[in-house]
Amino acid sequence: MIFGYNPEKIRKDFPMLAKPIVYFDNACMSLRPVQVIDKINEYYKEYTACVGRSSHRLALRVEEEVDKSRNEVKGLINAGHASEIIFTRNTTEGINLVANSLGFREGDEVVISDKEHNSNLIPWLKLRGKGIKLKIVKSNPDNTFNLENFRKSLNEKTKLVSVVFTSNIDGVTNPVKEIAKLAHKNNSLVLVDGAQAVPGMEVDAKELDVDFLAFSGHKMMGPTGTGVLYGKKHVLEQMDQFIVGGETVVDSTYESYSKEELPNRFEAGLQDYAGIIGLGEACRYLEKIGQSKVASHEIKINKIISESLLGNKKISVIGPKEAEKRSGIFSFNIEGMSHHDVAKILDNSRGVLIRSGAHCAHSWFNYHNLKGSARASFYLYNTEKEAEIFVDEIKKISSF
Amino acid sequence: MVLCLIALPIFAVLSIFSAKYRKLTLESLDCVFRTAAFRKCRSGLDDRVKASLTGKVMRVSPRTAGFIYNNYKILSWIILIIFVWSIYGTSVGLYNYAKYGSCNGPEDTGFCMFDPAGTNTKTSEIDAYQQSEIILPALEENDPTMGNKNAKLTIIEFGCYACPYTNKAEPIVKEVLDYYKGKVNIQFKTFYIPHHNLSFQTALAANCAQEQGSYLEYHKIIFENQETLKFEDLSLLAGKLGMNTTKFDECMSTQKYKDEVQSDTLMGLHAGVRGTPTFFIGNNTLVGPRPFRTFKAFIDKEMKK
């Protein structure tokens, strides 16, 4: 029992949970509390307007709400300044922004782990066409991060280290603080893919000392199509713009233009104000519950499931055996069965919704000669009873 | 892979009414082509169906779900064979219905899903009668006929004046005679159905009317009054048609044509008649008030001979 934590009470905030489902696909997409839904509607019902263009009362109200959201995000990850928060569409866009704006030169090296989501692999593979070298750090046999391999991969040419914080393959959280320390010692910048980490654990950008942190709104109860790129102010100021146009410049002539201040210079065109305001509300909701409590709750659910199923010889889990090392993810395969079949059967039997496939990390699965896995992922509203239902159903399926 | 063969026609039909089935139809089509080329389906349609079915069954019986999951291929083949067999059966039924007005062919009067009320096949049946050898009925000079006596083709009808289905066939008989004016002749033979009220008496009455040269008119008027007919009406109707009622009543009271009625009925029984109306068109038998198109198909076939 986590003191003061009541998932049954939390569930009442989520209209989707009124359906007869066990929602275990949170690593892909979280559900939204009614507070976030209402906040989005509030923009459309009460103050629909543009920010930074018009100066009427509605525009000022939107500006105020967007600023509030930026400050909420800043508070959530303990950034140094609100201008370090750049709103994007998702984690992928944040990483692409860095890949295209950091000013890579031929011969520069980028280091990533062997467990990256395509969002943190493809942008760097694409840069290889411009003479950038990509280095992959092999993980330990239990899929945890190998700091020694990482240390060896660094050299004077390493411009950027870009690693996932919590893996969406198995839930393992990488030692980002140590990674950042080693990278900075090597004068390399650090970008962290925080898509799975920020929604379910305390992330302190200052303490971690990372240069960039990208994450998405849709995994943390925010609206789809919203994301954040945090960047240290002095690093962002050195960066070139990625997408340019409306709101990214202060002034322009037929010959030239002058850049806007941070963060606007990286937020081109009319933004998804409803989404940004909704994301701010999601941050408020998450902070109110407490990220550390969410993290403990996810591990608790994972423990119930892991302890009940890992003795089953037909079930193999991806990642370490210990549930506490896999946060809120239980990624597994059942011998002799397709992972897609497992997911579909669960859906049709008791409405247990999980994901199956390569989870956008095809490179890792291809390297390990696996077609994919079935992945159950938990969040703050999941209950022990749901974990028991999942266990029961998996036991039945594995007995086929 | 196997199930897409079944899914294709089903989804194709459903996609006419709903767009959501169009994608599934294309997936099934692709799967059918790949199956024909001995390759694995790309769409995973079979796998999805397998997993969905297994999941649904697991709610009720995990053991059965496991059986389905592990024997899915064999079960799919069984379902495919049943599907092909039922498609064949349905096609034959449709063909029979179009041609004979019944899924079961020209002679069988069993249930037909395309004619659930049995509109075209219902007959007044007698108890089962075992006949070792079928003797086709012969034309008889003395028996009355409708149409041209010298027509190329004569149809023999075994009917009962008290039978509603024989009555139902009357407009069709008329349509046949009108359509094949002069080319087709119909000889009506009375087939006595014991459990029908006035079946025997009406058969005698028709013969008594023939004696007075009023057979066709009397045949018509009995059917017109079939629903309300009482024994006393037989003489009244004869009078209405201008017949000598004294002679008619005497004919009736002496059962003058009893042997004739029994002879006709016996002829029918030897020919395999089990109910009325039954028509013999050449060597073909039609049982029940079949639609005109069925008569036409058989008559045209016989006329070509």
Q: Are B55 and A400 a contacting pair at CB < 8 A?
A: no
Residues listed for chain B: 305
Categorize the per-residue pLDDT at A323 as very low, low, confident or very high, splitting at 50, 70 and 90: very high
Q: Are B51 and A348 a contacting pair at CB < 8 A?
A: yes
Q: Are B55 and A349 a contacting pair at CB < 8 A?
A: yes
A interface residues, B as partner, C-beta within 8 Å = 338, 340-341, 343-350, 393, 396-397, 399-400
**CA–CA dist B220, A116 (Å, integer):** 92
Chain A: give the shortest CA distance to residue B11, in Å. 21
pLDDT at A56 over 90: yes
* Closest residue, chain B, to A348 (C-alpha): B55
Q: Are B51 and A350 a contacting pair at CB < 8 A?
A: no
Residue A94 is predicted with a pLDDT of 98
Residue A92 has which token pair? 């992928």
Residues listed for chain A: 400
Strand partners, A192: A163, A213
Give A29's DSSP letter: -
**CA–CA dist A159, A18 (Å, integer):** 49
Q: Are B52 and A399 a contacting pair at CB < 8 A?
A: no
Chain A: give the shortest CA distance to residue B120, in Å. 46
Q: Are B66 and A348 a contacting pair at CB < 8 A?
A: no
Q: Which long-range contacts (CB under 8 A, 24 or more apart) does A231-239 make?
A: A231/A84, A231/A86, A231/A98, A232/A80, A232/A84, A233/A80, A233/A81, A233/A83, A233/A84, A233/A262, A235/A189, A235/A211, A236/A83, A236/A84, A236/A86, A236/A262, A236/A263, A236/A266, A237/A262, A238/A103, A239/A98, A239/A101, A239/A102, A239/A103
Residue A1 is predicted with a pLDDT of 63
Residue B139 is predicted with a pLDDT of 80
Number of residue pairs across A and B with CB atoms under 8 Å? 51
Sheet holding A373-377, edge to edge: A315-317, A329-334, A373-377, A355-357
Closest in B51, B56, B65 to A340, CB measured: B51
pLDDT at A3 over 80: no
State which H helix or E strand residue A329 sits in.
strand A329-334
Residue A85 contacts residue A263 (beta carbons within 8 Å): yes
Q: Are A348 and B47 a contacting pair at CB < 8 A?
A: no
Residue B127 is predicted with a pLDDT of 64
Residue A239 is predicted with a pLDDT of 97
Chain A: give the shortest CA distance to residue B85, in Å. 30
State which H helix or E strand residue A258 sits in.
strand A257-259
Residue A370 contacts residue A170 (beta carbons within 8 Å): no
Closest in A341, A346, A349 to B47, CB measured: A341
B interface residues, A as partner, C-beta within 8 Å = 44, 47-48, 50-56, 58-59, 62, 65-66, 69-70
Give A231's DSSP letter: E
Residue listed under structure tokens 């095809």: A362
- Which pLDDT tens digit goes with each residue over A76-129? 999 999 999 999 999 999 999 999 999 999 999 999 999 999 999 999 999 999
**CA–CA dist A98, A239 (Å, integer):** 8
CA distances from residue A337 to B32, B47, B101 in whole angstroms, order as listed: 24, 11, 52
* Region for residue A52 given its phi and psi (left: phi exceeds 0; alpha: psi -120 to 50; beta: otherwise): left
* Closest residue, chain A, to B46 (C-alpha): A341
- Which pLDDT tens digit goes with each residue over A138-174? 999 999 999 999 999 999 999 999 999 999 999 999 9
SS3 A333: strand
Residue A121 is predicted with a pLDDT of 98
Q: Which residues of chain B have a CB within 8 Å of the CB of A344? A: 47-48, 51-52, 54-55
Closest in A338, A340, A396 to B58, CB measured: A396
Interface test with A, best of B42, B58, B59, B69 (most A CBs within 10 A): B58
Q: For B189, list phi and psi in degrees, rounded to 5.
A: -115, 130
* Closest residue, chain B, to A343 (C-alpha): B51
Q: Are B51 and A349 a contacting pair at CB < 8 A?
A: no
Q: Are A400 and B51 a contacting pair at CB < 8 A?
A: no
**CA–CA dist A212, A99 (Å, integer):** 11
Q: Which residues of chain B have a CB within 8 Å of the CB of A393? A: 58
Interface test with B, best of A337, A345, A352 (most B CBs within 10 A): A345
Query: Quick one: which of A217, A167, A200 has its CA closest to A358?
Result: A167
Residue listed under structure tokens 């939204």: A32
**CA–CA dist A314, A26 (Å, integer):** 25
pLDDT at A334 over 60: yes
Residue B140 has which token pair? 């008889």
pTM: 0.78
Q: Are A400 and B69 a contacting pair at CB < 8 A?
A: yes
Q: Which residues of chain A have a CB within 8 Å of the CB of B72? A: none
Burial of B22 (0-12, 13-18, 19+ CB in 10 A): middle
Q: How many other C-beta atoms can be found within 10 angstroms of the C-beta atom of residue B87? A: 12
Chain A: give the shortest CA distance to residue B25, in Å. 21
**CA–CA dist B90, B114 (Å, integer):** 10
SS3 A364: helix
Residues A365-385 have a mean pLDDT of 97
* Closest residue, chain B, to A347 (C-alpha): B55
Chain B: give the shortest CA distance to residue A326, in Å. 28
Residue B187 contacts residue B219 (beta carbons within 8 Å): no
Burial A166-188 (b: 16+ CB within 10 A, else e): bbbbbbbbbebeebbebbeebeb
Q: Which residues of chain A have a CB within 8 Å of the CB of B65? A: 345, 349, 396, 400
Interface test with A, best of B48, B69, B70, B72 (most A CBs within 10 A): B69
Q: For B287, list phi and psi in degrees, rounded to 5.
A: -110, 125
Q: Which residue type, as a one-letter code, is found at position A67?
A: D
| Non-local CB neighbours of B5 within 8 Å, separated by 6+ positions | B32, B35, B80, B83
Residue B118 is predicted with a pLDDT of 77
Q: How many other C-beta atoms can be found within 10 angstroms of the C-beta atom of residue B32? A: 16
Strand partners, A216: A227
SS3 A344: helix
Chain B: give the shortest CA distance to residue A377, in Å. 20
**CA–CA dist B105, B88 (Å, integer):** 15
SS3 A85: strand
* Closest residue, chain B, to A344 (C-alpha): B51
Q: Are B58 and A347 a contacting pair at CB < 8 A?
A: no
Residue B153 contacts residue B299 (beta carbons within 8 Å): yes
Chain A: give the shortest CA distance to residue B72, in Å. 12
- Which pLDDT tens digit goes with each residue over B248-267? 999 999 999 999 999 999 99
Average predicted confidence (pLDDT) for chain B? 89
Strands B153-159 and A133-137: unpaired
Q: Catalytic residue at A283?
A: no
Residue A115 has which token pair? 């467990």
**Helix A291-309 crosses helix A384-398 at what angle (to 10 degrees)?**
30
Residue listed under structure tokens 């036409």: B296
- Which pLDDT tens digit goes with each residue over A11-49? 999 999 999 999 999 999 999 999 999 999 999 999 999
Residue B129 is predicted with a pLDDT of 58
Percentage of chain A with pLDDT > 90?
98
Higher pLDDT, A273 or A1: A273
Residue listed under structure tokens 């087939």: B191
Q: What is the DSSP string of chain B?
A: --HHHHHHHHHHHHHHH-THHHHHHHHHHHHHHHHHTT---SS-HHHHHHHHHHHHHHHH-HHHHHHHHHTHHHHHHHHHHHHHHHHHHHHHHHHHHHHHSSTT-SS--S--TTSTT-TTT--EEPPP---SS-------TTS-EEE-TT-SEEEEEEE-TT-HHHHHHHHHHHHHHHHTTTTEEEEEEE---TTSTTHHHHHHHHHHHHHTT-HHHHHHHHHHTGGG--HHHHHHHHHHTT--HHHHHHHHHTTTTHHHHHHHHHHHHHTT--EESEEEETTEEEESS--HHHHHHHHHHHHH-
Closest in B47, B53, B66 to A400, CB measured: B66
pLDDT in tens, chain B (305 residues): 677 888 888 899 999 999 989 998 998 888 888 888 888 788 788 888 899 999 999 999 999 999 999 999 899 889 889 988 999 999 999 998 888 888 888 877 778 888 887 777 777 777 655 556 778 888 887 788 888 888 889 999 999 999 999 999 999 999 999 999 989 999 999 998 888 889 999 999 999 999 999 999 999 999 999 999 999 999 999 999 999 999 999 999 999 999 999 999 999 999 889 889 999 998 888 999 999 999 998 999 888 87
Chain B: give the shortest CA distance to residue A400, in Å. 4
- Which pLDDT tens digit goes with each residue over A208-246? 999 999 999 999 999 999 999 999 999 999 999 999 999
A28, A50, A283, A360: which is the annotated catalytic residue?
Answer: A360
SS3 A400: coil
